[in-house]
Amino acid sequence: MAERHFSNLRRHETIDGYLFIAPWLIGFVLWVAFPMIASIGLSFMEWDLFSNPRWVGTRNFEQLFTNRLVGVSLWNTAYYTFISVPLSLIVALASAMLLTMQIRFQSFFRTFFYLPSVIPAVSMAVLWFWIFNPEMGLANSLLRLLGLPTSQWIYDANTSKPSFILMSLWGIGNPMVIFLAGLQGIPTSLYEAAEIDGASWWDSFRAVTLPMLSPVILFNLVLGIIGSFQVFTNAFLMTNGGPQHSTLFTVLYLYRLGFEQFRMGFASALAWLLFVIILIFTLIQLRLSDAWVYYEGGDK
């Protein structure tokens, strides 16, 4: 009798659990899983949204290797990713370490550093438009004050991508908070033992902080690379891919193909190429993590 009661209780709990997650499951199936599966089929077709799809086989994938702008967009995205992600991690970690110091108004400074990451994208684009304005922008005004040469920033093909990388540092709030949580989880006894052994600040950072933070660093690195490969909003709002396609990132070009040129089949093929690239880089990071990520339990 007791076993039957326990079995009925578990069945009711299972049903209740599925009912609670049903809204998420329905949303996932309708807005994520189904579009992904449909895009696989579309990548083998030619479709302009207005006529019936036409099967073209692997032609869309073949065009990925001959279309010049695909190569340009992938290069721009790779340039942005491999500079902005390490730089953002370094700045986020440095900010988190500063915010662990026992100072007055600590909560205010933590909020101040995190706040930019929750500002709406359009508002942020308007703000950086003003900062990067060549004539009256804050950036050039500061350079003039310091007696340094000014720049055209996002309006010059040579400085547009570095300008976007500089903008990415504005949104370090999320990785900074994660680093902050990781730093607060490091036992102070480790630092005390290092200090007794005569370790300097740098020795403690290298031998205690970095190993103990390595899982957090891996987490932020994976999310950072995935997010940077999908950069879109700032480029779309501020430069629309210019000047001279220097900020034509892959997702922005994908948007142009699908919703401006109505080449949905080719856009789907490019989306799956981007998915494969992100997947490969994620798997490489996870594979290499065995050599440098330390887990407190001792297991890799």
Query: Is a pLDDT exceeding 90 seen at residue 299?
Result: no
Question: Residue 2: is its pLDDT beyond 80?
Answer: no
Tell me which H or E stretch contains 46. strand 45-46
Across the chain, what does the average pLDDT equal?
90
The predicted structure's pLDDT at residue 117: 85
Distance CA 126, CA 233 (A): 12
* Predicted pLDDT at 288: 92
For domain 68-291, the question of CATH label 1.10.3720.10 is answered with yes
Per-residue tokens: 233? 């909003």
Distance of CA 95 to the CA centre of its chain: 18
What's the confidence (pLDDT) of residue 120? Answer: 87
Please enumerate in sequence order all residues whose Cβ is within 8 A of that of 163, keeping only pairs 6 or more positions apart, or say none.
132, 153, 154
Picking from 181, 186, 219, 17, the residue whose alpha carbon sits closest to that of residue 99 is: 181
Q: pLDDT tens digit string along 43-83?
A: 999 999 889 999 999 999 999 999 999 999 999 999 999 99
What per-residue confidence (pLDDT) applies to 223?
A: 94
